[in-house]
Structure 1
Amino acid sequence: MLDWDEKIYKETAGKIGEPIELAIRNLSDQDNIQNTSQFGTLIPLSSILLTKEKALNIVSNIAKKYWGNIDLFLFEKLQDTSIDLNNANERLTHFFSSRQGKKALLQYLTIHNVLRFDHLINLVFGKEIEITNHVGGLNCIYFYKVEKKFFIHIIYNQKETFWKTLFVKKIYSIFLQTPMLSINDSLDLIRQLQAHLEQLHTSNKSISVINQLINVIAFNNPRSFQLKELQLFNVINHYKGGKRHRQKISRIIEDMYNNWVEGTWALSEKEQTILKFMLVIDAYKQEDFESIIAHGEYLIQNDRLNNHAIELILEYGEVLPNIKPEPIALIKRYNKNYIEKIFYILIEAYIQKHQYEHVIRLLKEYEIASCTAIYNYLNQDVIDDGNSLHHIEATVQRDIIFIVDHTPQHIMHSVEVWLNHYQDEDSPYYEIAIMSSKHICNILKALFATEHFELFDKLMEVYAKYIKVDAHFHQLRDFAADYVKI
């Protein structure tokens, strides 16, 4: 156990809350105590940061003490692996005692910032294992470089809440007493703070605390790429939060644009793309169709959503619904792929604003805005012989078959099951049907208003036959009646 951690643990008897605040004050130099209204008493950096040699020795000794011996419990757990268990303890001992082992440990911690038992097994034996239970009384060890020293924190299984609370206090203390550019992997450290706050408090409180901390960091530090990363993280936090936090998303994103509109660390196109995506979703909830059109058109222009697809999913997968897109399908979960979702929302916005030609433009330019069959029909060079229209019904049949049975082997049965259950609110098909029906009706409105009657008639026939939802159909009928009167 770290000397300072041991002292504060004894002082508090493992209790959290006010006992930790009192213990920090009692163990600190009284002339240099820093108190904050939001984050309590700060821990002196001299009590947190260690030299590289001392930090590595402590990590190695702690890991060896708790994980350096394969006991009977672990022997059973590891029997199904290809690890040579007869010599496992010998290899562990050699790893912890050798210079090469310590070098490998340092390299791993420098990259990953955290060590768990399964990580150690992978390091020593080159085998990936899954062990859900914490091993040997030790949960994990955190390791971050701060300035020219190192910050380590150990989470023990006993009094786990205490050690997690202390970890949170240490992170506050580091960010509020250290220039941010001196903290390696500052974004990862903030993410760890978020994860631990959510375990200790409600999600609402954790988002509020992170927001307060990042605002203080922004006030106390110069502009930098790292600061921009933290503020983007804060935006995403609010986006994922409850209604209270989502209400602030537009203002927070506006602040991001104001702060990072130009300069060395100006928002990249990828970063603007994720911000615009969140603005579209927020505007959709607010029924702000003008904003949807403005932000949505930015997203689809120059193929931005596709161009940055891999980076967006890797970095912002928690925000973007990213199951594989299905441009060939018309009946599908439009809310499960971020590109399909944007076109779904954008088409509805154009319908609401009576801009029907723009819907036709989207259908002609983007296959994913509807489906391959409709896209091909609208872009054919020769007079249709009827086949392309028949492809629409074939598309819908195929969609239904794969939704119901995931195989084309039982066509009639799958269609029958769909027709019997898609309007049942308890059916697994209901959500898909409602979403697809709404989208198809929006397309039908645009086709009717722009006098694409041949395609309208065929799509209407298919809609009525396979996916008609009365509420949507009545709206469509009223739309057509009103439009004729104009």
Structure 2
Amino acid sequence: MLLDCDEQLFMTYKRSGEKGAEKLLSKWSEEGTDSQADPKILGTSLSPNLFLVNEETAMNIAFSTARKYWGRVTTDMQTFFNRHGLDTKFINDRLNAFFYTQKGKETFFEQLFAQHTMDLERLIWLIFGKRMQITMPVNELQTIFLYKFENEYFVHMIYKEDAQFWHWLFMKKVYSLFIHKPLEQFTFIHEMMGHIEQSTRKTCVHVDNFVNNYRETLDKCITYVDNRNSTCLAKKQLHLYQIVTHYRLSEGDYRSVKALITSFEADWRYSMYALTEKEKVLIAYLLFHIAHQEKNNETVIQYGEYLLEDERLNNYAIEILLEYKELLPNRKPTPPAIIKNYELNFLENLYAILLDHYVRMERYQEGLLLLKEHVLASNKKIHATLVQKNYSNEQFIAIEASVQQDIALHVNNSLQHIGLSVEEWRQHYRQPDTPYYLVAQSASQHMLNILKVLFVTEQYELFEKLMEIYKKYLLLEDHFEKLRVFISAYV
């Protein structure tokens, strides 16, 4: 079920490509009565009157489209369900109960309204209560989008066939909404901007320098929207998205990010929409990592301690993750492990970076305090030994056993045959083309910082045991040479 404007643009796009579709949009624009200026940042915009619909129409479009493509069991779907032990009759009964009842329709719309998107995987979870990874068949519906603007709805579908057109049209419609609609009506900036970035990537696959083009276009759009809208919560959210996007796409040059943050904090400090604690944590997290990349030790420590104080980062991490999915690496933390890639979890990475800068600044007592107060700064066995000051042989054996377990899980994802896993690790962890290399590099760097702190603070027994473990399982010559130089200079 397509809107008239969608169908006309699709047919024109099929015949004449994007240029033909742009010509049709220009014709509509000339014929329209809307006198509002169009900056043509992304070509000609559409009047929202062409694609915004009322609630009943939005519900009917979304639900009938979902039923058409997802309401029957295709051969591919049946093969998939068979692998999960679900027979055809059971599947059809559940699909019919969902797609041919008013309750199913209401449930579908509630979920779509709450999440703004629906795909087959989410739908299967909704109907069957199972999260399953499903590969969509060719020429099928991929995604349904739904957003509300006061009493009107924006509903849009992405199809597998001619997907580039549907992504182009989605991008065009969202752009048009920002140009023609008051910003106060946008209550879902983060989701919508994330979706438009995904569609822009799909649409601009042929663009050589996507990053610069996307940032420049984003900045032009935000500047235009800024000048036409009064202060509101959506404007602040749009600016935050701009900051995070520049950070993600910075490619090592953070000047624009820092300039945007400075301007943002000045503009909103005394506003009725002053920064919330969560937003302050988000900004501090960005500045922490920027300072780390720029080797600004004092600033790293300042923001690192701020993020740890009162568990600020941990308290707001879920909210930040929901809004900016790619910002915080969120692999589940592993307190028992010392050999791991610390960059895969935002908290483990925070501790590793902070300890590194304590060492660089020769603030070893603060480094020791970090190790004693936070288990993720080392691991459970080392932390327990430090806290209890129990340097017994049993404790040292337990630490080494935990290291061997780390290695076994990395090599075989199993604690069976630990000896064989350790041997495999020892033979290959120094080789850049193996999956162990990045883990070894990250773990070695962090272990050496722990060793430096323990040596300077005279925790000699634990230092000697960890040194023995390091030489056995993790030794990297270039890292170890730096430790030798450090100890020699300190002595």
TM bucket, shorter chain: 0.7 to 0.9
Instruction: Determine the structure 2 residue equivalent to 1:472.
Output: 479
Identity %: 32
- Counterpart of 1:38 (choices 28, 41, 60) is 41
CA contact (8 A) 2:190 2:323 kept: no
Instruction: Determine the structure 2 residue equivalent to 1:237.
Output: 245
1:413 aligns with 2:420: yes
CA distance in 2, matches of 1:283, 1:217: 31
State the Cα deviation string for residues 205-259 of structure 1 (Å, max 9, x = none). 3344334333433443333333333333333323332517755333333334333
1:143 partner SS: strand
2:426 maps to a residue whose letter is L
Instruction: Determine the structure 2 residue equivalent to 1:429.
Output: 436
1:286 aligns with 2:294: yes
Distance 1:108 1:341, change over 3 A: closer
1:460 aligns with 2:467: yes
Q: Which moved more, 1:72-81 or 1:153-162?
A: 72-81
Shift of 1:341: 0.8
Instruction: Determine the structure 2 residue equivalent to 1:25.
Output: 26
1:440 aligns with 2:447: yes
Distance 1:83 1:188, change over 3 A: farther
How big is the alpha-carbon RMSD for the aligned residues of Structure 1 and Structure 2? 3.7
CA distance in 2, matches of 1:250, 1:115: 36
Instruction: Determine the structure 1 residue equivalent to 2:308.
Output: 300
1:379 aligns with 2:387: yes
- Counterpart of 1:172 (choices 154, 167, 175) is 175
State the Cα deviation string for residues 108-156 of structure 1 (Å, max 9, x = none). 4433444556777787898887653357765554333223222333445
CA contact (8 A) 2:396 2:465 kept: yes
What stretches of structure 2 of length at least 5 have no aligned partner?
A: none
Distance 1:255 1:411, change over 3 A: same
- Counterpart of 1:52 (choices 39, 55, 62) is 55
CA distance in 2, matches of 1:71, 1:164: 26
- Counterpart of 2:204 (choices 201, 206, 210) is 201
1:475 maps to a residue whose letter is K
Mapping for residues 205-224 of structure 1, pairs under 5 Å: 205-224=213-232
CA contact (8 A) 1:276 1:299 kept: yes
TM-score by length of 1: 0.83
CA contact (8 A) 1:140 1:155 kept: yes
Instruction: Determine the structure 1 residue equivalent to 2:406.
Output: 399
Instruction: Determine the structure 1 residue equivalent to 2:145.
Output: 142
What stretches of structure 1 of length at least 5 have no aligned partner?
A: none
CA distance in 2, matches of 1:20, 1:325: 49
CA distance in 2, matches of 1:241, 1:211: 13
CA distance in 2, matches of 1:52, 1:142: 14
CA contact (8 A) 1:154 1:163 kept: yes
1:319 aligns with 2:330: no
Shift of 1:175: 1.1
Shift of 1:178: 0.7
CA contact (8 A) 2:430 2:440 kept: yes
Distance 1:190 1:413, change over 3 A: closer
1:414 partner SS: helix
CA contact (8 A) 1:83 1:125 kept: no
Greater gyration radius: 1
CA contact (8 A) 1:292 1:346 kept: yes
CA contact (8 A) 1:39 1:172 kept: yes
CA contact (8 A) 1:334 1:436 kept: yes
CA distance in 2, matches of 1:414, 1:361: 34
CA distance in 2, matches of 1:105, 1:416: 53
1:227 aligns with 2:235: yes
CA distance in 1, matches of 2:130, 2:391: 60
Instruction: Determine the structure 2 residue equivalent to 1:188.
Output: 191
Shift of 1:177: 0.9
CA distance in 1, matches of 2:436, 2:128: 47
1:153 aligns with 2:156: yes
CA distance in 2, matches of 1:242, 1:345: 20
CA contact (8 A) 2:400 2:469 kept: yes
Shift of 1:106: 4.4
CA distance in 2, matches of 1:5, 1:147: 22
Shift of 1:172: 1.0
Distance 1:384 1:264, change over 3 A: same
CA contact (8 A) 2:167 2:199 kept: yes
TM-score by length of 2: 0.83
1:41 partner SS: coil
2:388 partner SS: coil
CA contact (8 A) 1:68 1:92 kept: no
Instruction: Determine the structure 1 residue equivalent to 2:343.
Output: 335
Q: Which moved more, 1:352-361 or 1:120-129?
A: 120-129
Shift of 1:90: 11
CA contact (8 A) 1:12 1:23 kept: no
2:164 partner SS: helix
Q: Which moved more, 1:142-151 or 1:98-107?
A: 98-107
Distance 1:11 1:245, change over 3 A: farther
